[in-house]
Amino acid sequence: MSETVRLSFEINRVSLSALRKDPEQFLPEMRLAAAVKWYELGMLSQSKAAEVAGVSRSEFLASLSRFQVSPFQYGADEITDEAKI
């Protein structure tokens, strides 16, 4: 059985309005943005990032392009090195 933790924080209304999001829209967007960034940094796998974002893995992968993040966690050098093997 998975344990969940409830987190809360405060954000200034001006900041929230600058993002053009209401609180109900902001939370899933923030979860997705954090998950995408952590995936991009190599801190989370695709499946764990999707879990953090609260979406399916396929939805997470589809969202990566909106954030201009590659679904591949390999750099050009790593791909070239693997191709040589």
Predicted local distance difference test score (pLDDT) of residue 12: 85
Predicted local distance difference test score (pLDDT) of residue 85: 64
Polymer length of the chain: 85
Burial letters 19-44, b for 16+ CB under 10 A, else e: eebeeeeeeeeeebeebbebbbeeeb
The structural domain count of the chain equals: 1
Confidence of residue 18 (pLDDT cuts 50, 70, 90): confident
Residue 6 inside a domain? The answer is no
Residue 71 inside a domain? The answer is yes
H helices within 5-67, ranges in order?
A: 13-18, 23-40, 46-53, 57-64
Residue 53 inside a domain? The answer is yes
Residue 8 inside a domain? The answer is no
Residue 45 inside a domain? The answer is yes
Residue 64 inside a domain? The answer is yes
Confidence of residue 4 (pLDDT cuts 50, 70, 90): confident
Which domain, by its residues, includes 24? 13-84
What does the pLDDT look like over 25-84, one tens digit per residue? 888 999 999 999 999 999 999 999 999 999 999 999 999 999 999 998 776 676 676 677
